[in-house]
Amino acid sequence: MSKRKAEERIKDFNEVDHGFSKQDAILESLRCMDCVRPQCIKGCPVNIDIPGFISAISKEDFRKAAVILKTDNMLPAICGRVCPQENQCEGVCVLGNKGKPVKIGALERFVADWERENGVQIPEVKEKTGKRVAIVGSGPAGITAAAELAKEGHSVTIFESLHKAGGVLTYGIPSFRLPKDIVKAEIDKVLELGAELKLNHIVGRSVPVDELLAYDAVFLGTGAGLPSFMGIEGENLNGVYSANEFLTRVNLMHADSFPDYDTPIMKKDKVVVIGGGNVAMDSARVAKRMGADVILVYRRRKEDLPAREAEVENAIEEGIEFVCCANPVRVLGEDSVAGVECVRMEMREEDASGRPCPVPMTGEGALFTIDADVVIEAIGQSPNPLLISLVDNLERGRKGNVIADEETGQTSIENVFAAGDVATGAATVIEAMGSAKKVARAINERLK
């Protein structure tokens, strides 16, 4: 499976990766050894029958492959594109020992795209139970829970604050990684199961808490949408954005197409992105496509970057400059950003998580300045406290996350369950989905 050339793809927001052609998919599927003890299944957070669906591809039975995939993963078109496969299924594939694991993610994407083009089979919906479930949030967690519970015949209502569903899939991940028509198609399929979607409904405000708790069961999938700021001087100057704001303006509001679209954004030449995860890579690559010279500042070493491997590679190819072992100290400027003062970091002994710890250097040469017009802080997100703070007796963790049982999603309130980023803090799409699926099963049991 190939991808578009860097110098060409940075001129637009179209998808970077070409999917497999039919021949290439079959060829790749033949590489799989159909292992007796397939490690790949354990590597997948939802334990997809990987050798099973790959084998079906090799026999050109794509419909069967889709059925196998969909048994465990409702959004394969999305996961195939955004899962950090190197840490999951592909990371433990036995062929990885020879340096080339089977391209499981790409094969999953192939099957999902094929199914979308050839007609998706809507699963059966059981008889109506008369039970009402409120799903708060339409990100991967909420969508998955909604689908599972709608299939069981419950009356499901999904509440979403924004004017479009999908959560981070819509506002966070750029279209060159995840086309929005695909996100919409996946969500529409869920709605066909009978779930009702209410956009522009902020639960806690548009839906008061007592109205929410009157549902037979409540699923909280409100994610981790609160952006973190560094707390450094100059952070409120014009031109400093949280990655959430920057990405939302472009991905959700199409500010890159201003003035054709009304939402503005600062379109400047020198952009500095702070952070090292997927959010930072996405911010950097979006800024690049808007014509800027982009420098990414990360406090640890290049090899420590937590972003998805493929995205780091793509960012480098696209000409983003990496300044590692450096951390911003101050944003400089009068009313608007003029530069960022940074301090060099050196790696010392391990911290609590077992990783070598970055420590600011001192003395001459430790401080340096990078010229900038825009600074994007992509240093992390935590659960949005808006709804959580309005619900009495909802037990929370230190980081603002909702305390929920890992298996059942049970919170400190009897009919309230939670899964996804709101419970775990910022994590991954597949973890949000896998967890939501388990929790939906537990809710279903409770409603019997």
Partner 1 sequence: MAYKIEKAEMIAENIFEFWINAPHVAKNARAGQFLVIRINDKGERIPLTVSGVDGDLVRIVFMKVGKTTMFLSTLGEGDFIEDVAGPLGHPSEIKDWGRCVVIGGGVGIACLPILAKALKESGNEVTGIIGARNKSLLLLKDELASHCDELVVCTDDGSFGYHGFPVDILKKKLEEGVVDCVWIIGPAIMMKITSLATVPYNVRTFVSLNPIMVDGTGMCGSCRVTIDGETKFACVDGPEFEAASVDWNELMTRQRIYTEEELKARELFEDHTCECGGH
Ligand X SMILES: Cc1cc2nc3c(=O)[nH]c(=O)nc-3n(C[C@H](O)[C@H](O)[C@H](O)COP(=O)(O)OP(=O)(O)OC[C@H]3O[C@@H](n4cnc5c(N)ncnc54)[C@H](O)[C@@H]3O)c2cc1C
Q: Could you list the residues that contact ligand X (CB under 6 A)? A: 82-83, 136-142, 159-162, 167-168, 172-173, 202-204, 221-223, 225, 247, 278-279, 282, 308, 384, 386-387, 420-422, 426-430, 432
Q: Choose which of 102, 217, 287, 331 interacts with ligand SF4 (CB under 6 A).
A: 102
Token pair, residue 143, equals 């969508």
What is the distance between the alpha carbons of residues 325 and 357, in angstroms, rounded to a whole number? 11
Pairing of strands 226-227, 381-382: antiparallel
According to CB under 8 A, which residues from 210 to 239 bind partner 1? Answer: 225-227, 229, 231, 235-236, 238-239
Token pair, residue 3, equals 């991808």
Q: Are 195 and 165 in contact (CB under 8 A)?
A: no
Q: How far is the CB of 338 from partner 1 (least distance, A)?
A: 14
Q: Which amino acid is at 48?
A: I
Q: Is 428 helix (H, G, I), strand (E, B) or coil?
A: coil
Query: Residue 226 binds what, of ligand X, partner 1, ligand SF4, none (CB under 5 to 8 Å, by partner type)?
Result: partner 1
Which CB sits closer to ligand X, 224 or 272? 224
Query: Residue 40 binds what, of ligand X, ligand SF4, partner 1, none (CB under 5 to 8 Å, by partner type)?
Result: ligand SF4
Q: What is the CA radius of gyration of the chain?
A: 22
| Residue listed under structure tokens 């702070």 | 274
What is the distance between the alpha carbons of residues 250 and 273, in angstroms, rounded to a whole number? 15
Q: How far is the CB of 212 from ligand X (least distance, A)?
A: 9
Which CB sits closer to ligand X, 250 or 297? 250
* Stretch 18-57: interaction string toward ligand SF4, x if CB under 6 A: --------------xxxx--xxx---x-x-x-xx------
Query: Residue 39 binds what, of ligand X, ligand SF4, partner 1, none (CB under 5 to 8 Å, by partner type)?
Result: ligand SF4
Q: Are 121 and 71 in contact (CB under 8 A)?
A: no
Q: Which residues, 6+ apart, have CB-to-CB distance to 96 below 8 Å?
A: 90
Q: How far is the CB of 201 from partner 1 (least distance, A)?
A: 6
What is the distance between the alpha carbons of residues 289 and 11, in angstroms, rounded to a whole number? 6
Q: How far is the CB of 35 from ligand X (least distance, A)?
A: 25
Return the exposure string of 164-198: e unless at least 16 CB atoms fall within 10 Å of the residue's CB, then b: bbbbbbbbbbbbbbbbbebbeebbebbbebbbebb
Q: Which residues, 6+ apart, have CB-to-CB distance to 264 below 8 Å?
A: 249, 255, 258
What is the distance between the alpha carbons of residues 90 and 120, in angstroms, rounded to a whole number? 26
According to CB under 8 A, which residues from 162 to 181 bind partner 1? Answer: 162-163
Which CB sits closer to partner 1, 13 or 114? 13
Q: How far is the CB of 89 from ligand SF4 (least distance, A)?
A: 3
What is the distance between the alpha carbons of residues 50 and 277, in angstroms, rounded to a whole number? 27
Residue 79 interacts with ligand SF4 (CB under 6 A): yes or no: yes
Residues that bind ligand SF4 (CB under 6 A): 32-35, 38-40, 44, 46, 48, 50-51, 73, 79-80, 83, 85, 88-89, 93-95, 102, 104-105, 108, 430
Residues that bind partner 1 (CB under 8 A): 161-163, 198-202, 205-208, 225-227, 229, 231, 235-236, 238-239, 241-242, 244-245, 248-249, 253-254, 258-264, 266, 335-336, 384-386
